[in-house]
A and B are shown apart, each in its own frame.
Chain A
Amino acid sequence: QVQLQQWGAGLLKPSETLSLTCAIYGGSLRGYYWNWIRQPPGKGLEWIGEINESGGSNYNPSLKSRVTISVDTSKNQFSLNLSSVTAADTAVYYCARGCRGCPGDYWGQGSLVTVSS
């Protein structure tokens, strides 16, 4: 059974960089796209971006200038960096497994990131 476990800092100040990591247990990076999705409090879901095992990535144009997603195949994990955060970046961030044209089937537990001065 595939499990995704994520972690990272939960409280940031404006202009800092958000960093989250998602580890995959019971499965491999191979053959899938690994996604980051966020959900502001009380709102809907927004796709941030994805990466495959080879490091090929795609980002949401609305966040592209601030987002970097990376993969570490030796640790079977992938990471999200979002720079220059503001209060608008306050959200629960999820990692999820997907593939080209298919939905995320396994999701992490979610990480609440709050941006506040």
Chain B
Amino acid sequence: EIVLTQSPDFQSVTPKEKVTITCRASQSVGSALHWYQQKPDQSPKLLIRSASQSISGVPSRFSGSGSGTHFTLTINSLEAEDAATYYCHQSSSLPVTFGPGTKLEIK
């Protein structure tokens, strides 16, 4: 099973700040690494697929990069509505797995 780790676990940030969340995989997942946003009492929402591919309807301030075992999600010019927990997810091999999440709090 591929284990995903994320850093930081929690971050308190101010609006308009730039945020970077890191996801590391225990073995290479190629580019089969995706990012979700989850707000309280909501289903996860796909933000980025295949490491860096944007999703229709997702604001352009969200971007992803990386390959192999090291990936990043960047949020440029953070907005209040971005308060949520962010999960990375690998679909390279079964069982598919998720990172433990990074909770963003907006000051």
Contacts and interface: CB of A to CB of B under 8 A. Distances in A.
Nearest to B29: A101
A19 B58 CA distance: 33
B43 A45 contact: no
Q: Which of B32, B49, B91 has the most CB of A within 10 A?
A: B91
A29 to B, nearest CB: 19
Interface residues of A, number: 20
Given A101-B32, A103-B89, A45 B95 contact: no
B43 A109 contact: yes
Contact of B43 (A60, A100, A102, A110): A110
A72 interface: no
Given A103-B34, A108-B43, A61 B95 contact: yes
A114 B96 CA distance: 24
A111 to B, nearest CB: 11
A103 B46 contact: yes
A105 to B, nearest CB: 5
Nearest to A61: B95
A106 to B, nearest CB: 9
A10 interface: no
Interface of A: 44-47, 58, 60-62, 94, 98, 100-105, 107-110
11 contacts: A45-B44, A45-B89, A47-B95, A47-B98, A58-B94, A61-B1, A61-B95, A100-B91, A103-B89, A107-B44, A109-B43
